[in-house]
Amino acid sequence: DTEVTQTPKHLVMGMTNKKSLKCEQHMGHRAMYWYKQKAKKPPELMFVYSYEKLSINESVPSRFSPECPNSSLLNLHLHALQPEDSALYLCASSQIYLANYGYTFGSGTRLTVV
């Protein structure tokens, strides 16, 4: 299995809703990432988990809450989002501690906040 699987592919939520995005990989990668991508812009790093521990939080608002329950699974819990949070949310994974490690990206969750 050489894929990163993201669910759902599309999500529409109201500003008072609570929802979660899910990311799964079975490649044995020990680093997992959440990126946010607005239209016609490059992705922006949100969170990095290394060995299931949060290692980087790029000053993301608390309405986004990441969770890494095990080495294969990464969640992003969403609560009280704003319309400007509408974007493509990408998950990625990679090895750690190798001089040159490749990334595998998921196909993303297209989030619309109404």
Partner 1 sequence: KNEVEQSPQNLTAQEGEFITINCSYSVGISALHWLQQHPGGGIVSLFMLSSGKKKHGRLIATINIQEKHSSLHITASHPRDSAVYICAVTLPPWGGGADGLTFGKGTHLIIQP
Residues within the interface to partner 1 (CB under 8 A): 6, 31, 33, 35, 41-43, 45, 48, 50, 55-56, 88, 90, 92, 94, 96-97, 99-108, 110
16 or 39: CB nearest partner 1: 39
17 or 75: CB nearest partner 1: 75
Closest approach, Cβ 21 to partner 1, in A, equals 13
Neighbours of 54 (CB within 10 A): 12
| 89 to 36, 54, 98, 101: CA distances (angstroms) | 5, 18, 26, 22
Alpha carbon distance, N-terminus to C-terminus of the chain: 36
